[in-house]
Amino acid sequence: MRDATIGVDLGTQSVRAIVVSSTGETLASGSQKLTSRREGSRHEQEPEEWWKATAAACRRALAELPGRVQIQGVAVDGTSGTILLIDASGRPQTPGLMYDDTRAVEEANRVNEAGADVWATLGYNRMQAAWGLPKLLWLLARRKALSPETRLAHQTDFINRRLVGSEVATDTSNALKTGVDLLNDRWPVEVFTTLGVPCEILPAVVRSGTRLGEICATASAETGISAGTPVIAGMTDGCAAQMGAGALSVGSWNSVLGTTLVLKGVTADLIKDPAGVVYSHRSPDGNWLPGGASSAGAGVIAKFFPGRDLEELGKQAADREPANVVTYPLHGRGERFPFVFPEAEGFTLGRPTDEIDQYAASLQGVAFVERLCFDYLDLLGAPINGPIVFTGGGANSRYWSQLRADMLGSPVVLPENSEAAVGMAILAAAAERKVADVAPAMVRIRQVIDPQPHRFDLFRESYLRLIDELARRGWLPAATAQHAHRRAAA
């Protein structure tokens, strides 16, 4: 009989369940697709579909299990800022407003005015229209009458309630964008009162990793998970992926390179960013999880080199160090980390000699932005001396990963599987223990890349040229540019 836990990831397009052993072996998995309703700034999903997909994904995973396995717990992650209203029985009263639904623009202005002091204390200064609290106001404003039984629920709360069969607390990770006070693990009642939000609709709050209850008989029949299995409070999908990557010690960072570039790290103290670029979740262990998401990333590769053999292009790009041009690799409009400038657009300084030169400049440009992100984190006082874990599609390129490691001057770890569902399986296994103590036994390492520090010298001039151009355009604050220069000269 082997011990294992189940991690469930409520994604945008599907629900995925993974069964992971106590030694990190993926024993089985299952998934079920989801559908969305999108129109302009609107993005909704049906909560009942979340549950049906969760049950189906769990059944499929458990049906694939080899041999005898004892499930010790289950944890669920969800998309950040996704909320709905439910009744006293947990039935949905509204659709689920998804993480990127941005209809609550006016409500966000009200929220920022009423809670300015609190948000500043928590280190992020301002909420955005896609965050949970503005969307809660939006939902409440469109109800003719508010039933005494109405409750706020995050996406994970809805699923956990079905798993347990009764009312459950929300976790501080999913509640961050709804305004929870992470310093005191409570709702800032004075802000909600000012906004006219009845405090009785708010769920109780617990730290991620807390035991919420046990799988009830009804949920067991639908999911296949044995009744009595502990249900553990989860996190947002981004934090779950960080758990799966194993970046859980102070000073360590998880750099996720997909269409965009996302950095998430661990600090002992709350990092406060005056620009609101970086904001922090709370670790189940009590540390802080600061992070930021750049709009730059591998999306520029997909945009300008669609359908190409990227491995072959990468081999040829290795001969262009540095490229003859410098590229800021933004494939859309607007930047949000390591600086905020809504009108920012990608650009190339100089004329590339050929497509290989442009491809090399794109790879190098992403590495430059990643380096600048760490420069900014260092400026804020965040420790950046720990291990760095690369995940996301960009980590599959051996050349690109080496280039990025050389730019950062730090050893880089590539895990075998850093899916969000794996992170939740790790969190479930760490119930009543520190997740940082449990993760090393469950995160399997695929490769370690050592930096070649002398290679940074090849790119220093091009890197600083990009920094100076961003500052000249008024996008990058002078203090950030100056700090980047100081670190490059060290």
The C-alpha atoms of residue 122 and residue 117 are separated, in whole angstroms, by 9
Residue in the structure block whose two tokens are 């409440």: 140
- Angle at Cα 267 formed by Cα 264 and Cα 270, nearest 5°? 100
The C-alpha atoms of residue 236 and residue 9 are separated, in whole angstroms, by 9
In this predicted structure, what is the pLDDT of residue 66?
86
CA distances from 399 to 134, 321, 360 (A): 43, 12, 11
The C-alpha atoms of residue 170 and residue 160 are separated, in whole angstroms, by 9
| Phi-psi category of residue 432: left, alpha or beta, with phi > 0 → left and psi -120 to 50 → alpha | left
Q: Which H, E and C letters describe 190-235, residue by residue?
A: HHHHHHCCCHHHCCCEECCCCEEEECCHHHHHHHCCCCCCEEECCC
Burial 108-136 (b: 16+ CB within 10 A, else e): bebbbebbeeebebbbbbbbbbbbbbbbb
Percent residues over pLDDT 90 in the chain: 91
pLDDT at 462 over 80: yes
pLDDT digits (tens, 9 = 90+) for 351-408: 999 999 999 999 999 999 999 999 999 999 999 998 999 999 999 999 999 999 999 9
CA distances from 123 to 133, 176, 326, 405 (A): 16, 11, 33, 29
In this predicted structure, what is the pLDDT of residue 453?
82
pLDDT digits (tens, 9 = 90+) for 43-61: 999 999 999 999 999 999 9
Query: Where do the structural domains in the chain lie, given as residue ranges?
Result: 2-238, 247-417+452-489
pLDDT at 145 over 80: no
What tokens were used for 156? 């994970």
As a whole number, mean pLDDT of residues 27-36 equals 97
Q: Are 265 and 247 in contact (CB under 8 A)?
A: yes
Of the candidates 170, 155, 165, which has an alpha carbon nearest to the alpha carbon of residue 222?
A: 165
Q: Are 229 and 74 in contact (CB under 8 A)?
A: yes
pLDDT band (50, 70, 90) for residue 67: confident
CA distances from 185 to 16, 178, 375 (A): 29, 13, 31
Q: Which of 3.40.50.300, 3.30.420.40, 3.40.640.10, 3.50.50.60 would CATH assign to domain 2-238?
A: 3.30.420.40
Element (H, E) at 361: helix 355-379
Give me Rg for the CA atoms of the chain: 23
Round the average pLDDT of the chain to a whole number and report it: 95
For β-strands 151-154 and 253-257, DSSP reports them as unpaired
Of the candidates 202, 192, 172, which has an alpha carbon nearest to the alpha carbon of residue 184?
A: 172
Of the candidates 79, 57, 73, 63, which has an alpha carbon nearest to the alpha carbon of residue 20?
A: 73
The C-alpha atoms of residue 212 and residue 75 are separated, in whole angstroms, by 10
pLDDT digits (tens, 9 = 90+) for 311-358: 899 889 999 999 999 999 998 899 999 999 999 999 999 999 999 999
In this predicted structure, what is the pLDDT of residue 59?
98
In this predicted structure, what is the pLDDT of residue 124?
87
pLDDT digits (tens, 9 = 90+) for 244-300: 999 999 999 999 999 999 999 999 999 999 888 899 999 999 999 999 999 999 999
As a whole number, mean pLDDT of residues 18-40 equals 96
**Architecture of the domain spanning 247-417+452-489:** 2-Layer Sandwich (3.30)
pLDDT digits (tens, 9 = 90+) for 153-185: 999 999 999 999 999 999 999 999 999 999 999
CA distances from 155 to 90, 118, 170, 176 (A): 12, 24, 10, 13
What tokens were used for 362? 């794109």
What tokens were used for 147? 């039933």
Q: Cβ neighbours of residue 46 under 8 Å, at least 6 residues apart?
A: 35, 92, 95, 96
N- to C-terminal Cα distance for the chain? 55
pLDDT at 144 over 80: no
- Fold: same for 2-238 and 247-417+452-489: yes
Q: Cβ neighbours of residue 159 under 8 Å, at least 6 residues apart?
A: 8, 10, 50, 51, 54, 76, 78
- β-pair partners for 77: 9
pLDDT digits (tens, 9 = 90+) for 202-225: 999 999 999 999 999 999 999 999
As a whole number, mean pLDDT of residues 193-200 equals 95
In this predicted structure, what is the pLDDT of residue 431?
85
pLDDT band (50, 70, 90) for residue 148: confident
What tokens were used for 337? 């980390």
The C-alpha atoms of residue 57 and residue 30 are separated, in whole angstroms, by 5
In this predicted structure, what is the pLDDT of residue 278?
93
